[in-house]
């Protein structure tokens, strides 16, 4: 198997020059697949602990026929684009690796004109029509003949978009950068840090200095000796290909301080890679948090880092399809980047990502996502007011859901604020930004909070209905003083939660209140305030890895799509005291403060009321935070201890 380590990348194609990228277009092509109903059926039956098919996932051998079809379809499509700048399939680089149905084609507008009718491209690039999909009746020439082979084609521009201002919103044809879930920008610009190794015993560690892996193990009660053996965790990163050597050095420093052996970590480029990958501080931190903490908490697990370019259209679909076709066979995929639900579905629709997630569930992959750090706001990019250089303003100050937490086949992770380790004091997360002036300038926010709410596109799943909607009585969810309560109107998120932030502290010397969080190494320097749901989600990935490893020792199947079982446990198991499986968080809110446009057209400060925490499930912390030992103990007993569905009554037969 060919894997890319450290600085070695074998893409099989050349990097376009930067001026070429700015002038080029990119097609995201999804090929048709056969027997897709099998994926949806298996995703449902294999994740239903009450059913006889629970844990019976598809095997790679089950795809031999469909895989041959995908290879043939890919060859037909690639053949007509031989003169394109590049054609890049989403698949592992090792010879003989399976194909996914996803590929990208780069070329100029003049080149692509031959494949589409009339002024199709000009209309799309001029934002005359909504969305980015080019419909089959607009295909022309050799492309029109391939309609039986292609499910959908979407169009985007290559290269990074220009800065957005209030008068010129970003085109739907331009790349839409995902919004990261963590909450720190540039560690080099901050005024707080640490100079070295932390105490692995936790005896001398202080919460205000940033938590260490040992502190998290003890606080959430990870079982002793569970190191994630024989588990493979894939994690999606954006724009990380340009600083791999620096990332390796930081990870080694962190793991050495944590007292663990260097985990088995591989890098895997996914899709077209940029010639000059964006290496912003945001991307640096996001790329570091997941691998560092996964490796420290489950050092025996294998880690695969999926590297995606910052201008790749729909990186979530690429990451999920890569996990499904990856010969390394990850059983957990973690994604911490978000996008406004409305933005994603308007541009890409729901069909392809829903099918990809069904395939992941059918193959036993647990997909874990960060809910976001924007309260009930969706992280919609801010705009700059020319008349007010203080900072960006929010475009639309009302509640919206975030993607991919809005999808029903993911485990969405929200955030909490841990104010004290002893006695344990944990509430729903809403608090100040970390001590970073660059971040305050970049974002429209003055405070952050765990994202959560309800999808406007995805209905309430059946496995969530009893807890979120209610059985005996209708449940409702409060939002702020003098605001009406909300009745569930779609898929509720998050599902679970974990620490996203530590206490808010005054750092002295005139500094304002700032949030502390997790220890991390960035550019060789220690910081103590990494966090957000971008940290909570990878740690939940380690919880699932521990559960899978314990189940594997007992001959049980991995959890795969675990939500139906987790919600059952949340409804029937203790949520307080020493026997709690998921500890209920009943205090806190998800209010955020940000800059908006006033009625006079100037920047103004506004508080957007989030949800209030309450008993059982809520749109802040979901079902609560894990007591890992109790939770994995409980998961060992299922489905054997799950009340089986009653067998259907036999149909009456007539007497002879």
Pair 150, 185 in one domain:
no
Q: Is 573 inside a domain boundary? A: yes
Q: Which residues of the chain have pLDDT under 50?
A: 1-22, 164-175, 180-203, 277, 646-656
Domain identity same for 447 and 530: yes
Co-location of 150 and 285 in the same domain? no
Same domain, 378 and 456: yes
pLDDT at 126: 74
**How much is the pLDDT for 61?**
74
Q: Confirm whether 163 is domain-assigned.
A: no
The answer to the question of residue 226 being in a domain is yes
Alpha helices in 389-482 (DSSP H): 437-442, 462-468
Residue 510 lies in a domain: yes
Q: Is 103 domain-assigned? A: yes
- Domain of 610, in residue numbers: 179-636
Report how far apart, in Å, the C-alpha atoms of 188 and of each of 17, 192, 282, 284, 436 are. Answer: 30, 9, 12, 12, 9
Strand partners, 310: none
State the pTM of this model.
0.88
Residue 395 lies in a domain: yes
> What pLDDT, on the 0 to 100 scale, is given for residue 384?
62
Q: Which residue, among 55, 57, 45, has the nearest Cα to 635 in the 3D structure?
A: 55
Instruction: Please state the φ and ψ torsions of residue 83, each to the nearest 5 degrees.
Output: -90, 5
Residues 64 and 198 in one domain: no
Q: Which two tokens stand for residue 67?
A: 């895989």
Q: Helix, strand or coil for residue 622?
A: strand
The alpha-carbon radius of gyration of the chain (Å, integer) is: 24
Q: Are residues 111 and 229 in the same domain?
A: no
Domain tally, the chain: 2
For β-strands 383-385 and 337-340, DSSP reports them as unpaired
Q: Is 645 left (phi over 0), alpha (psi -120 to 50) or beta?
A: beta
The verdict on 141 and 248 lying in the same domain is: no
Are both 416 and 277 inside the same structural domain?
A: yes
527 and 606 share a domain? yes
DSSP label of 638: T
Q: Which residue blocks in 365-447 are alpha helix, DSSP H?
A: 437-442
210 and 101 in a single domain? The answer is no
* C-alpha triplet 619, 624, 628: angle, nearest 5°: 150
649 inside domain: no
Q: Which domain CATH number covers 219?
A: 3.40.50.200
The confidence score (pLDDT) of residue 2 equals 31
Contact present, 315 and 353 (Cβ < 8 Å) = no
One domain for residues 110 and 215: no
Q: Looking at residue 244, what is its pLDDT? A: 87
- 559 with 239: CB under 8 angstroms? no
Cα–Cα distance, 186 to 18 (Å, whole number): 25
Give CA–CA dist 416/585, Å, rounded: 8
In a domain, 11, yes or no: no
Do 122 and 188 fall into the same domain? no
């Amino acid at each position: 198997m060919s894997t890319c380590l450290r600085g070695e990348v074998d893409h099989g194609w050349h990097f376009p020059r930067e001026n070429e990228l700015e002038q080029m277009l990119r097609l995201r092509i999804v090929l048709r697949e056969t027997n897709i109903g099998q994926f949806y059926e298996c995703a449902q039956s294999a994740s239903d602990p009450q059913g006889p098919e629970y844990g019976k996932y598809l095997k790679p051998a089950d795809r031999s026929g469909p895989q041959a079809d995908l290879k043939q379809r890919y060859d037909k499509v690639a053949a007509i684009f031989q003169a394109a700048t590049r054609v890049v399939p989403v698949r592992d680089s090792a010879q003989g690796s399976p194909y996914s149905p996803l590929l990208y084609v780069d070329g100029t507008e003049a080149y692509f004109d031959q494949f589409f009718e009339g002024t199709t491209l000009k209309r799309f690039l001029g934002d005359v029509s909504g969305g980015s999909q080019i419909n089959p009746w607009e295909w022309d020439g050799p492309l029109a003949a391939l309609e039986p082979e292609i499910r959908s084609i979407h169009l985007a521009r290559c290269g990074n978009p220009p800065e957005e201002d209030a008068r010129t919103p970003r085109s739907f044809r331009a790349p839409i950068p995902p919004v990261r879930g963590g909450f720190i920008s540039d560690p080099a610009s901050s005024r707080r840090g640490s100079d070295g190794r932390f105490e692995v015993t936790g005896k001398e560690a202080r919460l205000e200095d940033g938590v260490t892996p040992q502190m998290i193990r003890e606080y959430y009660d990870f079982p002793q000796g569970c190191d994630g053996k024989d588990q493979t965790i894939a994690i999606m990163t954006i724009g990380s290909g340009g600083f791999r050597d620096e990332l390796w050095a930081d990870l080694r420093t962190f793991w050495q301080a944590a007292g663990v052996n260097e985990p088995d970590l591989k890098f895997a480029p996914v899709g077209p890679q940029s010639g000059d990958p964006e290496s912003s501080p945001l991307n640096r931190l996001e790329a570091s948090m997941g691998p560092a903490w996964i490796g420290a908490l489950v050092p025996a697990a294998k880690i695969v880092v999926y590297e995606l370019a910052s201008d790749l259209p729909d990186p979530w679909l690429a990451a999920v399809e890569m996990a499904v076709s990856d010969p390394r066979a990850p059983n957990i995929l973690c994604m911490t980047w978000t996008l406004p639900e409305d933005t994603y579905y308007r541009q890409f629709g729901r069909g392809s990502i829903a099918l990809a997630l069904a395939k992941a569930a059918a193959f036993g992959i647990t997909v874990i996502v960060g809910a976001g750090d924007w309260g009930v706001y969706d992280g919609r990019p801010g705009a700059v007011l020319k008349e007010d250089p203080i900072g960006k303003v929010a475009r639309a100050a009302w509640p919206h859901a975030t993607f991919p937490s809005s999808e029903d086949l993911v485990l969405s992770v929200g955030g909490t604020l841990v104010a004290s380790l002893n006695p344990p004091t944990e509430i729903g997360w809403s608090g100040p930004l970390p001590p970073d002036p660059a971040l305050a300038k970049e974002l429209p926010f003055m405070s952050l909070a765990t994202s959560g709410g309800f999808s406007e596109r995805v209905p309430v799943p059946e496995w969530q209905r009893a807890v979120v909607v209610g059985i005996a009585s209708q449940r409702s969810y409060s939002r702020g003083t003098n605001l009406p309560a909300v009745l569930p109107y779609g898929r509720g998120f998050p599902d679970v939660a974990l620490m996203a932030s530590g206490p808010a502290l005054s750092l002295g010397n005139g500094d304002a209140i700032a949030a502390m969080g997790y220890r991390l190494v960035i550019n060789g320097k220690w910081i103590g305030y990494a966090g957000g749901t971008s940290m909570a989600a990878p740690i939940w990935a380690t919880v699932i890895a521990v559960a899978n490893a314990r189940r594997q020792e007992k001959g049980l199947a991995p959890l795969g799509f675990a939500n139906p079982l987790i919600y059952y446990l949340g409804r029937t198991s203790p949520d307080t005291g020493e026997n709690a499986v998921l500890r209920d968080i009943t205090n806190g809110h998800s209010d955020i403060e940000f800059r908006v446009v006033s009625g006079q057209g100037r920047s103004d400060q506004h508080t957007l009321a989030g949800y209030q925490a309450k008993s059982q499930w809520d749109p802040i912390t979901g079902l609560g935070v894990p007591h890992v030992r109790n939770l994995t103990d409980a998961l060992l007993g299922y489905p054997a201890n799950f009340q089986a569905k009653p067998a259907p009554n036999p149909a009456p037969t007539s007497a002879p």
